[in-house]
Structure 1
């Protein structure tokens, strides 16, 4: 176990997207020659897309290797009992140069039945937003499935969707079944269940270089949409410096906001791994005498077997995540 307990970094998995841009390279220092990098998968156990350790004694091992070798010491006793050798979260940074498609995600029951997958509850923390940038979340008013389909057929779906003007620090909780889209000009951190199942319902009539439209999932989406959902998606949270401030707590993950201006001595009180995403500034995390610098746009995993550790910074904002 000695080899396991240190601040583990993984090599980012960069994803080119039709809507992606260059902020992940220019603002978060991700290495790519592409001009349309839409996502950086920071910690992934998605089938065929495993994260690979980039530092320390475990360098070169996959996250799956770590799960199979260290089990509860990596995950926590209860988490390992539930998830076995499947890591429950997918951690990303996203840059939308153009509007993403209007989409939603199925719940656990539907995802298991149709795709042998988890559902996809997620949250967003806006890191940077161009002037007048928006997110689309939910409908303006309650509507019926028939009314929704009518707008879909007439290509007027955006008319009935709710838009939210955003700025850095804004946080949103996206439950399964809620229609949503990241708007052009927004860069954010995303924390979600491990799932790559997305139902795309409207794509702005975009075509690719060959003139083809992307696939839509109208039928699959219809019984996955929650038409009754309340407008409780924007998250308000405290920002007390040098303390963990709860942002989102749901059955799938808890995320806390941590602004650091000094050295904090912390103890892992959870039966869980801890993930730190640096969303602003720079911090140093030390475990068992091993230190790693965490810069804006970097992510680190502390195994569940971690006990005491220190975080030091003159000025940094971190998202602290556990299950």
Structure 2
């Protein structure tokens, strides 16, 4: 496999709660004029497979690359576990309005119902307006009966833990956790490759046709984890020119890199692809002599067969580094 920093064409999604920050703040381009809620940066989801936008493999999808190069692309260990399915999905999300209160199933339930992976995810906050909120987890002891009592009385929000949000905050949203991104927040999301969401409350809003969006009340009950209480906020160090581990679980590890000089990253021992999401500033990524300009709002994949990465900048350059 030819080793170089791979970029992909973003897949933009209109959402009822979306805005224009993906265009104005992250330099995305779209035929849509408004309500642009998501930019799928790197996706192996069927029907939404990302396509390489640079270099030798330009025009080839991530799935076709995976079928062709297997462990060289994703790592032998990762390929053994996931085969020809790219295991993670990377997004930028602009919540101009509140997202629905929702949750995602675990691997077993998702496979049984949908033939899919579950949807464990984490969020990193690129920007947030004053007073913006994350709704995640319960704020009290509940069971099915008490949950339904609040739900039927239209008081489900009274049960949800709320965190005020600021730039650089991070949150881990485990499967079964009830949650919603509040309005005024720009987020980077790392998640398992899944598009399964159970919506339980949607703020009583209607679409352009005057219709409310579907709720998945009964599906959600079996997936809901009532033990998920309290804040989902992650505490991490945010030092310069070193590895700041934001979160690590069985599905992915996410590090935050704050760089103001040249930084070398040794990758030999990881045995995984590495994805970088630029959340602030501008710099360069060099792999095997190939140099790629890299700026805020862009995402790059480094194949697993790369031995090291050189990150170059002379000013504030902030990246999320993700691998399995």
For Structure 1 versus Structure 2, the TM-score category normalised by the shorter chain is over 0.9
Alignment of 1:300-319 (within 5 A): 300-313=300-313, 314-319=315-320
Instruction: Judge which range, 121-130 or 260-269, deviates more.
Output: 260-269
- What's the CA shift for 1:240? 2.1
Aligned match for 2:22, one of 24, 30, 33: 24
State how far apart, in whole Å, the 2-side matches of 1:166 and 1:265 are. 32
| Structure 1 segments unaligned to the other structure (5+ residues) | none
Gaps of 5+ in 2: none
From 13, 19, 30, give the equivalent of 1:15: 13
TM value normalised by structure 2? 0.97
Secondary structure at the counterpart of residue 50 of structure 1 = coil
1:57 and 2:56 are equivalent in the alignment: yes
1:206-221 equivalences in 2 (<5 Å): 206-221=205-220
Computed over aligned residues only, the root mean square deviation of the Cα atoms, in angstroms, reads: 0.9
1:114 counterpart residue number? 113
Matched residue, 1:321: 322
TM-score (norm 1): 0.98
Q: What is residue 270 of structure 1 aligned with on the other side?
A: 270
Name the counterpart of 2:239: 240
Q: 1:232 Cα shift?
A: 5.5
Tell me the CA shift for residue 315 of structure 1: 1.3
Rounded Cα–Cα distance in structure 2 between residues aligned with 1:231 and 1:316: 33
Alignment of structure 1 residues 68-147 onto 2, 5 Å: 68-147=67-146
Secondary structure at 2:110 match in 1 = helix
List structure 1 runs of 4+ shifted beyond 2 angstroms: 229-232
Q: Which residue pairs with 2:294 in the alignment?
A: 294
The secondary structure found in structure 1 opposite 2:286 is strand
Deviations 1:176-225 (A, max 9, x none): 00000000000100000000000000001111111111111100100111
| Structure 1 counterpart of 2:285 | 285
